[in-house]
Structure 1
Amino acid sequence: MHLKIQSLGSSKKDLVEFNNCRFEGCFIMSHDDIPFIPSVLADQYVNHADFRILGSGNSPLLYEPNFKGLALRITSKSTGTTSTVRFDTNSTAFTTVIKDNKYNGDWLNDFGVNNVSGYAYKDGYTGVSGYAIGRLDCGDDKVGIASDLYIKSLGKRLGDCSVTNKTLTVIIDGTSFNIVFNKNYVGSGTANTVPSDYSNQQVLDEINAVISSVATADMYGVANDYYPEFSDVLSRNRTSEVILKGMAVALDGGFVRKSIVYR
Structure 2
Amino acid sequence: MEDQYEKKITWTIKNFSFVQSQAIDSDIFVVGDSKWHLVAYPKGNGESTNKCLSLYLNVADFQSLPNGWKRHIKYRLTVVNQMSEKLSEQEVIQGWFYKNFHISGFQTMLPLSKLLDKNGGFLVNGDVKIVVEVGVLEVVGKSDVLEETLLVHESIDINGFQVLPSQVESVNNLFEKHPDIVSEFRSKNPLMRTTYLNDLLCLTEILCESSEELSTGDMANAYSTLTCLKKAGFKLDWLEKKLKEVCEARVQEIDEEWKDLTDLKEKF
Higher Cα Rg: structure 1 or 2? Answer: 2
Please give the range of the TM-score, normalised by the shorter of the 2 chains. Answer: under 0.3
Richer in helix (by share): 2
